[in-house]
């Protein structure tokens, strides 16, 4: 990927499931006045549409076709919602549907397919190309924007992440046991870290933020302060 001179940085926030990326990304973007891009929602949208159409998760060709269809102009729309990112697929608001536990697990499987990642890669890069954006995912700093000016890897212990995820599910009245949620979190970590294409890793130049014993406000403050420093550096960069 060619290096692009930007006046405002691309902020990449990667990390495992349940680390708090969505909440942190939203608040960081709000405080900086940047656009938030939830790349995980794109992969969830692929999984949701595949499940909605009855496509088997083992049918890689059919799932790849779904991803390519969603990558076409106008197929999917993303914007701010009342409780996170609003996702519209072919005119249908699926913002709540894609957050279902089954969709999340399916997304972890389908996102391992090289054809799916390739189909969505150009879309993600187009959304963040000019900077002034905060992108969350699992391979933003390592694959999607290896030239991002500000990279973070947000994590927490599997126990803490499971507790957070269960609390989130409990609000909808569908929470399984903590043991089951922890098992699913650890299985997803294993799949995401071991997949052959774009595995979950902490980029060498990323700032590691462990939120196990930190509040959201503390995490956001650390990231915002770092990004503001990067932004000042870009603003003071000499023009050729």
Q: What is the CATH number of the domain that holds 167?
A: 3.40.50.300
Residue 100 sits in the same domain as residue 189 = no
Residues 6+ apart with CB under 8 A from 147: 1, 3, 4, 10
The number of folded domains in the chain is 2
Please identify which residue in the block is written with the tokens 């495992």.
Answer: 16
Residues 6+ apart with CB under 8 A from 137: 12, 13, 14, 21, 39, 40, 124, 144
Residue 4 lies in a domain: no
Residue 194 sits in the same domain as residue 137 = yes
| C-alpha to C-alpha distance for 211 and 221, rounded to whole angstroms | 12
Residue 102 sits in the same domain as residue 139 = no
Tens of pLDDT, residue by residue over 147-190, are 999 999 999 999 999 998 888 778 777 778 889 989 988 888 88
In this prediction, residue 238 carries a pLDDT of: 55
| pTM summary value | 0.76
Tens of pLDDT, residue by residue over 111-154, are 889 999 899 998 888 888 889 999 998 889 999 999 999 999 99
Q: pLDDT at residue 82 above 70?
A: no
In this prediction, residue 206 carries a pLDDT of: 96
Residue 53 lies in a domain: yes
Q: Can you list the alpha helix ranges (DSSP code H) found in 85-238?
A: 101-110, 114-128, 158-170, 178-194, 216-235
In this prediction, residue 240 carries a pLDDT of: 45
For the chain, give the mean pLDDT.
Answer: 88
| C-alpha to C-alpha distance for 207 and 203, rounded to whole angstroms | 9
């Amino acid at each position: 990927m060619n290096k692009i001179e930007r006046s405002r940085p691309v902020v990449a926030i990667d990390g495992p499931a349940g680390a708090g990326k969505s909440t942190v990304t939203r608040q960081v973007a709000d405080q900086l006045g940047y656009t938030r891009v939830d790349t995980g929602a794109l992969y969830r949208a692929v999984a949701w549409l595949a499940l909605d159409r009855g496509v088997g998760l083992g049918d890689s060709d059919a799932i790849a076709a779904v991803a390519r269809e969603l990558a076409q102009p106008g197929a999917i729309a993303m914007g701010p919602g009342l409780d996170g990112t609003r996702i519209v697929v072919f005119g249908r608001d699926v913002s709540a549907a894609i957050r279902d536990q089954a969709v999340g697990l399916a997304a972890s499987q389908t996102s391992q397919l090289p054809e799916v990642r390739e189909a969505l890669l150009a879309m993600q890069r187009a959304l963040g190309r000019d900077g002034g954006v905060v992108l969350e995912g699992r391979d933003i700093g390592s694959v999607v924007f290896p030239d991002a000016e500000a990279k973070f890897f947000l994590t927490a212990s599997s126990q803490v992440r499971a507790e957070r995820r269960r609390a989130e599910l409990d609000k909808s009245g569908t929470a399984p046991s903590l043991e089951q949620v922890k098992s699913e979190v650890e299985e997803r970590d294993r799949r995401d870290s071991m997949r052959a294409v774009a595995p979950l890793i902490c980029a060498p130049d990323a700032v590691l933020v462990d939120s196990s014993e930190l509040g959201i406000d503390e995490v956001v403050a650390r990231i915002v302060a770092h990004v503001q420093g990067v932004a000042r550096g870009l603003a003071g960069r000499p023009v050729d």
